[in-house]
Chains A and B, each alone.
Chain A
């Protein structure tokens, strides 16, 4: 286990390095930051001078090398757009995204499993079919359109929920939270539904598919034959055995929720890292883009590591070969 863990840690570090390199080689395809940084009155000489100051005239590998050297010392540079240290900017934005991801992930997991089980057990009931159809409609439209539709209905027409932002936040240490105020909690509703809808449907369909399969297996039939209670069969036997694929997918989705909060955050002007990244792309804010991508890959690598660990815990069959790698 420890060997496995150390080896995975080493691989993860390599992943981070490669992500950084790939990121740096693609920035010039995003655009050129200089026009955004100089006013309309800039001369050609100003442009040339700034290119040198930013080090954009150097080879990509050199630029990446300089970035890494500073990053190791904890210095991720200064945002071209905000003029503040990238670390500070990311730390300011992270709570918004993490809270949104947490809420929509929890909603997706809870409703995904509940609806998935229900639609598997009561396969042919009207409610089960309605749930399946409604969820399908939800994932058959682009996220941004769902967000805009929700704003139109709940903010403009009904004037019930806010159309943008986090509401009032409370600062605890370095963390701003929206969980402690009424307006903060209300502000979470529409964005978390928008963000979690797709994940929920995915989990629900997966749970349903696996449940249907497991419910037909011999040992479940034995359980019925032994006269076990329905609830016990559904939860202890059937659900348990559907968990491996559910854990895999959910684990992956958690990371995706954070990474793909980009669209939801843009639509709802949610002041998180996704919005920061969209702004960074538009401005070609290289230090922010680099740090954001490194951070997201760190999240993915960690989640994947945890998912693999969970495999060991849940499925004993894997333990045999697990020691090797």
Chain B
């Protein structure tokens, strides 16, 4: 493990990393948030997902002030249900990160595979895939989420419905995410497949899988990374938006997005902490993911190395 890190440190990428304070800062931020989410049960004063730990009398307690009814004290204040905002953010972060990462992974794998096939094979296969993309784009994520949610509700037993909601979000956001990947990869594949090095590889007897993944895909890395970068932040944000439209994470197990949706109801009323801290956390997360992606793109792009 340590030798791995030191070899990364010594490599070209490592060198570029050391030279970029933004990248270092973003990486630290992402690691801190990741750790905080991972170890949430051990560092939070309250388990906000356990309703028996909540006391409604703590509702709307301001930050750093003792609640006059219960004498409880909250660093970031308490929300409308008497949940500790700090604890809820960390627990919500877990859900948001899981939804974001898995949704993008799902969209990326699906989009890249379909895009490669469409661009490389072409003809009827291309038409079918790209028309499917058209259909896909037609359906706003909210409707997909509702559809999958409806089916899942019918199938899943009551006890598991809370978990089901999370998977619904992952699939719905992932599904509405694959098309840009596919379009860009397909574009690249169409341009690259007639280039000499691809034809040479074909003549050398390499299979289509090898050609697609080894020769064509690397040429589309730059736009894929741009899209994936924005997609990850966007997926986390999309979860918040779905929550705003009424199909987000369950209110008893809120994600960062659900917290923001609840918090915005108190934007005019003076309870700023219910919105501010979750929104700040989301902003920090999305910003550092985006910045890290920016740096990564520059560092990985072979044509940018002098």
Instruction: Render A5-29 as a binary contact track against B, CB cut-off 8 A, 1 for contact.
Output: 0010001101100110010001011
Residues of A within 8 A of B304 (CB): 212-213, 216
Q: How far, in angstroms, from A252 to B180 measured CA to CA in the complex? A: 8
B138 touches A321 (CB 8 A): no
How far, in angstroms, from A41 to B222 measured CA to CA in the complex? 62
Min Cβ gap B31→A in Å is: 18
Q: Is B142 an interface residue (CB 8 A)?
A: yes
Instruction: Say yes or no: is A166 at the interface (Cβ < 8 Å to chain B).
Output: no
In the complex the two chains form, is A245's CB within 8 Å of B149's CB? Answer: no
Set A29, A260, A301: member contacting B140, Cβ < 8 A? A260
| Minimal beta-carbon separation of A149 from chain B (angstroms) | 8
B118-141 with Cβ < 8 A to chain A: 122-124, 126-127, 130-131, 134-135, 137-140
- Assess the A11–B240 pair: CB atoms within 8 A: no
Nearest-Cβ distance from residue A312 to partner chain B, whole angstroms = 12
B252 CB within 8 Å of chain A = no
Q: Is the CB of A152 within 8 A of B290?
A: no
Establish whether residues B241 and A152, one from each chain, have CB atoms under 8 Å apart when the complex forms.
Answer: no
Which of B124, B138, B180 contacts A259 (CB under 8 A)?
A: B138
Please encode chain B, from 260 to 300, with 1 for each CB lying within 8 Å of some chain A CB and 0 for all others: 10001001100000000001001101110011001001100
Task: Select the residue from B138, B237, B244, B297 with max chain A CB neighbours within 10 A.
Answer: B138
Q: Does any Cβ of A come within 8 Å of B155's Cβ? A: no
Contacts of B147 in A (CB 8 A): 26, 29
Within 8 A of B (CB), among A25-39: 26, 28-30
CA A26 – CA B233 in complex, angstroms?
29
Q: Which of B127, B137, B267, B298 contacts A11 (CB 8 A)?
A: B127
Instruction: Report which of A140, A304, A311 forms a contact with B290, defined as CB distance below 8 A.
Output: A140
CB contact between B279 and one of A141, A213, A320 (< 8 Å): that residue: A141
Which residues on B sit within 8 Å (CB–CB) of A256? 137
Quick check: which of A99-107, A180-188, A292-300 contacts chain B, the rest being far away?
A292-300
How distant is the Cα of A311 from the Cα of B188 in the complex, in angstroms? 12
Q: How many B residues touch A, CB cutoff 8 Å? A: 58
Q: How far is the CA of A300 from the CA of B135 in the complex (A)?
A: 8
Taking a contact as CB atoms closer than 8 A, the residue among A137, A156, A281, A296 that contacts B283 in the complex is: A137
Do A296 and B138 contact each other (CB < 8 Å), given the known contacts A139-B233, A325-B123?
yes
Are A216 and B241 touching (Cβ within 8 A)?
Answer: no
Chain B residue with minimal CB distance to A30? B146
- The reply to whether the CB of B184 lies closer than 8 angstroms to some CB of chain A is yes
A46 at the interface (CB under 8 A from B): no
Select from chain B the residue with minimum beta-carbon distance to A141: B283
Residues of B within 8 A of A (CB): 122-124, 126-127, 130-131, 134-135, 137-140, 142-143, 146-147, 149-151, 179-180, 183-184, 187, 190-191, 194, 222-223, 226, 230, 233-234, 237, 240-241, 244-245, 257, 260, 264, 267-268, 279, 282-283, 285-287, 290-291, 294, 297-298, 301, 303-304
- Those 8 A-B pairs whose CB atoms lie nearest each other, nearest first: A29-B150, A140-B286, A297-B138, A142-B240, A26-B147, A144-B244, A142-B237, A136-B290
Report which A residues bind B (CB closer than 8 A): 7, 11-12, 14-15, 18-19, 22, 26, 28-30, 132, 136-137, 139-145, 148, 152, 156, 198, 201-202, 205-206, 209, 212-213, 216-217, 244-245, 248-249, 252, 255-256, 259-260, 262-263, 266, 278, 281, 293, 296-297, 300-301, 304, 311, 315, 317-318, 320-321, 324-325
25 inter-chain pairs at a CB distance below 8 angstroms, sorted by A residue, are A12-B131, A15-B134, A15-B135, A19-B135, A136-B287, A139-B290, A140-B233, A140-B290, A142-B241, A143-B237, A145-B260, A145-B264, A148-B264, A148-B267, A201-B230, A206-B223, A212-B298, A216-B303, A245-B187, A252-B183, A262-B140, A301-B134, A318-B191, A324-B123, A325-B122
